């Protein structure tokens, strides 16, 4: 049995990361709602991710509150339902990032199809996002001992000890959204790369120097910025679900049990990297960031 200090430290980290999630989620949503210039379709999708992450973080605070108590074993009301909620919130957050990448695909590649860039289509994406989050984890309810109080982590969760349910959850909450993000961002980057090559070809044909000055440099700069943003998002996303995936594979391939700390760290790491994604989401959106910083500076003067 792990020492109580380990749980205190781990759940304290979860508390702090959840607070960061809620803070940045509140800043992003408030900024977009208050400022008219920020009320765009792209920012609406970012608000969807911020809202989903805020709900997830609020649930993590509840989980940590029960786990850190001395009577954690006896006091875990509605454990199966809370396990279902935890899985649903995880799915909703991850799918929201996939929905955001689909939105970017509409604007960057299919920009000629105006109906794909409408508010209606994006509200449809958001509705699908939450339907997947609500309906997705339901099959785990019918798998025996899937949603239980995991003693190693002190959390009501879809345990990795039951392979069918844990593999199903990691697939819909991590593998599928992550694959969608990789594929879509690869398409966007390839398209940007091809655009740059076309500009290079035009410049090599001896056309006007204004093509080089006005087209080549901005496209190259945009391409490098796009690659950097993709690299940041993909790596943070990958780190978030890696430990849980390792536990699932471990139980499926090895007879000896994994180290006990991994059970709780797999859940806490999701919250920590969710906070990292929220911070990255805020910093990479210069429009929202500049407006929010402006509001905060005004508040600081009072």
Residue 38: exposed, middle, or buried by beta-carbon count in 10 A (0-12, 13-18, 19+)? buried
pLDDT in the model for residue 213: 47
Cα(252)–Cα(250) distance, rounded to whole angstroms? 5
pLDDT in the model for residue 238: 85
pLDDT in the model for residue 246: 94
Going residue by residue through the chain (302 aa), what tens digit of pLDDT does each one get?
Answer: 789 999 999 999 999 999 999 999 999 999 999 999 999 999 999 999 999 999 999 999 999 999 999 899 999 999 999 999 999 999 999 999 999 999 989 988 888 889 999 999 999 999 999 999 999 999 999 999 999 999 999 999 999 999 999 999 999 999 999 999 999 988 888 887 776 666 556 555 555 455 444 444 445 566 566 667 777 878 888 888 899 999 999 999 988 989 999 999 999 999 999 999 999 999 988 899 999 999 888 877 76
pLDDT in the model for residue 207: 52
Residues β-bridged to residue 156 = 149
Q: How many CA atoms lie within 13 A of 223 on its CB side?
A: 17
DSSP 165-194: HHHHHHIIIIIHHHHHHHHHHHHHHHHHHH
What is the token pair recorded at 108? 């960057």
- Domain boundaries along the sequence of the chain: 4-188+227-301
Residue 207: exposed, middle, or buried by beta-carbon count in 10 A (0-12, 13-18, 19+)? exposed
Cα(131)–Cα(126) distance, rounded to whole angstroms? 9
Q: Alpha carbon of 176 to those of 47, 81, 91, 213: distances in Å?
A: 22, 24, 10, 41
Cα(33)–Cα(37) distance, rounded to whole angstroms? 10
pTM of this structure: 0.89
Q: Give the containing element (helix H, strand E) for 155.
A: strand 155-158
Residue 163: how many other CB atoms lie within 10 Å: 15
Residues β-bridged to residue 158 = 147
Q: Could you confirm whether domain 4-188+227-301 is CATH 3.90.1010.10?
A: no
Residue 204: how many other CB atoms lie within 10 Å: 9
Question: Phi then psi for 150, rounded to 5 degrees?
Answer: -85, 115
Residue 48: exposed, middle, or buried by beta-carbon count in 10 A (0-12, 13-18, 19+)? buried
Q: Alpha carbon of 286 to those of 78, 292, 294: distances in Å?
A: 42, 10, 12
């Amino acid at each position: 049995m792990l020492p109580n200090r380990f749980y205190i430290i781990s759940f304290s980290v979860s508390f702090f990361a959840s607070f960061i999630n809620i803070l940045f989620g509140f800043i992003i949503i408030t900024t977009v709602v208050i400022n008219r210039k920020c009320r765009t379709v792209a920012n609406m999708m970012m608000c969807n991710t911020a809202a989903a992450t805020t709900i997830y973080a609020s649930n993590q605070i509840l989980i940590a509150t029960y786990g850190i108590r001395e009577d954690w074993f006896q006091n875990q009301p509605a454990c199966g339902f809370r396990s279902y909620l935890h899985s649903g919130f995880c799915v909703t957050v991850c799918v929201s990032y996939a929905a955001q990448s689909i939105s970017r695909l509409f604007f960057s590649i299919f920009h000629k199809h105006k109906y794909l860039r409408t508010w209606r289509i994006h509200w449809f994406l958001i509705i699908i996002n939450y339907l997947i989050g609500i309906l997705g984890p339901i099959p785990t309810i019918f798998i025996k001992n899937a949603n239980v109080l995991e003693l190693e982590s002190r959390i009501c969760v879809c345990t990795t000890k039951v392979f069918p349910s844990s593999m199903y959850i990691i697939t819909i909450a991590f593998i599928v959204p992550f694959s969608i993000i990789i594929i879509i961002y690869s398409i966007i980057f390839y398209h940007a790369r091809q655009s740059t090559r076309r500009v290079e070809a035009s410049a090599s044909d001896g056309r006007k120097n204004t093509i080089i000055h006005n087209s080549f440099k901005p496209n190259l700069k945009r391409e490098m910025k796009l690659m950097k943003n993709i690299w940041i998002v993909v790596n943070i996303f990958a780190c978030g679900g890696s430990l849980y995936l390792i536990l699932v594979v471990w139980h499926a391939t090895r007879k000896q049990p994994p180290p006990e700390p991994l059970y709780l760290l797999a859940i806490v790491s999701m919250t920590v990297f969710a906070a990292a994604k929220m911070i990255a989401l805020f910093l990479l959106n210069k429009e929202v960031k500049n407006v929010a910083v402006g509001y905060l500076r005004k508040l600081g003067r009072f």
